Amino acid sequence: MNAITLTDLDVSYGDTKVVHGINLEIAEGESFALVGESGSGKSTVLRAIAGLAPDWEGRISVLGKARTHGIDRQVARHCQMVFQDPYGSLHPRKTIDATLAEPLAIHGLSNRGARVEAMLAAVGLDRRFRFRFPHQLSGGQRQRVAIARALMLEPKVLLLDEPTSALDVSVQAEILNLLKRLRREQGLTYLLVTHNLPVVSFLCDRLAVMRHGRIVEVAGVDQLKAGALTEPYSKELLAASGGHAEILPT
């Protein structure tokens, strides 16, 4: 069964169509990346799958079930999202405990305290962070909380919207390691949106290059590592982010 299947997906914001005819199959357990520059429509695809961009046509199915437009409580159990900005994605007046317990309360799950503690441990946060407010945490710690919140409902699919682009390099490494470990431990499927190709190389199995709302190329991560992307635009992107490989001690 596919984790996510998109068939002829068009997404619009108001009168402008920003995503055109996307077809994509992401297998369960796979880590898939959507890459492209700002305005390529990659985030819009993610938001449509999550239910935050309800104005779409075509077909989106999550774990074999077609999803409705808008927010869907059933999809919510299986498919959660991590946002880009760790400063904007946590409620400023709620403690970490309240933020993490909220999804449990919404779905009427019991044993909240223990679950929150277990999840904090899973994302590598000490339990003394439990009753702090977001402003008492660093960017990396906040992003750990955001990941923990997304995992509270034990979803199968995680949508990641540039989860490390607002973080420092050293913190990015910590979060990438965490995401990799969680996927291994919990058998998660990732759909990652990013403009950072090295991150794709570290975290993903396959990628789709997007431009002007269309998929230009779908490739395996081996092709990316070998620099063997075929489309001219993909090569351009590759060249633009090529600097990272040059200076590293190997």
Partner 1 sequence: MASTRDWLLDDSPTSRLQASLGRFYRIAAALMRNPLSVLGGLIILLLIVTAVGAPWIAPYSATGQDLANRLMPPSAAHWMGTDELGRDIFSRVVWGSQITLTIVLLVALIAAPLGLLIGAISGYFGGWVDKALMGVTDVFLSMPKLILALAFVAALGPGINNAIIAIAITTWPAYARIARAETLTFRNAEFISAVQLQGASPLRVITRHILPLCTPSMIIRVTLDMAGIILTAAGLGFIGLGAQPPLPEWGAMISRGRTFILDQWWVATMPGFAIIIVSLGFCFLGDGLRDALDPKQADKH
Partner 2 sequence: MAPLVDIANLRVSFPTPRGRVEVVKGISFTLGRERLGIVGESGSGKSMTGRSILKLIRPPGRVTADRMTFDGIDLLAQSERDMRAIRGARISMVMQDPKFSLNPVMTVGEQIAEALVTHKKLPRRQIYERVIAMLEAVRINDPARVAKLYPHEISGGMGQRVMIAMMLIPEPDLLIADEPTSALDVSVQAQVLDIIDDLVRDKGMGLILISHDLSLVSRYCDRILVMNAGTVVEECVASELQNAKHPYTRGLLAAMPTLDESREELPVLDRTQWAGT
CB 123, CB 188: distance < 8 Å: no
176 CB-contact burial (10 Å; exposed 0-12 / middle 13-18 / buried 19+): middle
Please report how close the Cβ of residue 112 comes to partner 1 at its closest, in angstroms. Answer: 11
Q: Does 135 bind partner 1 (CB under 8 A)?
A: yes
Which among partner 2, partner 1, none contacts residue 98 (Cβ within 5 to 8 A by kind)?
partner 1
Which among partner 1, partner 2, none contacts residue 174 (Cβ within 5 to 8 A by kind)?
partner 2
Q: Which is nearer to partner 2, 107 or 244 (CB)?
A: 244
Residues 151-170: x where in contact with partner 2 by CB under 8 A, - otherwise, as a string: -----------------xxx
Q: Give the other-Cβ count within 10 Å of 108's Cβ.
A: 6
In angstroms, the CA 176 to CA 138 distance is 16
Q: Does 69 bind partner 1 (CB under 8 A)?
A: no
Please report how close the Cβ of residue 150 comes to partner 2 at its closest, in angstroms. Answer: 21
Q: Does 176 bind partner 1 (CB under 8 A)?
A: no
Find the binder of partner 2 among 17, 139, 154, 235 (CB under 8 A). Answer: 139
- What CA–CA distances, in Å, run from 24 to 99, 245, 248? 33, 30, 34
Q: Does 75 bind partner 2 (CB under 8 A)?
A: no
Q: Does 43 bind partner 1 (CB under 8 A)?
A: no
Q: Does 154 bind partner 1 (CB under 8 A)?
A: no
Residues of the shown chain interacting with partner 2 in the complex, contacts defined by CB under 8 A: 37-38, 139, 168-174, 176-177, 180, 195, 197-199, 201-202, 224-227, 236-238, 240-249
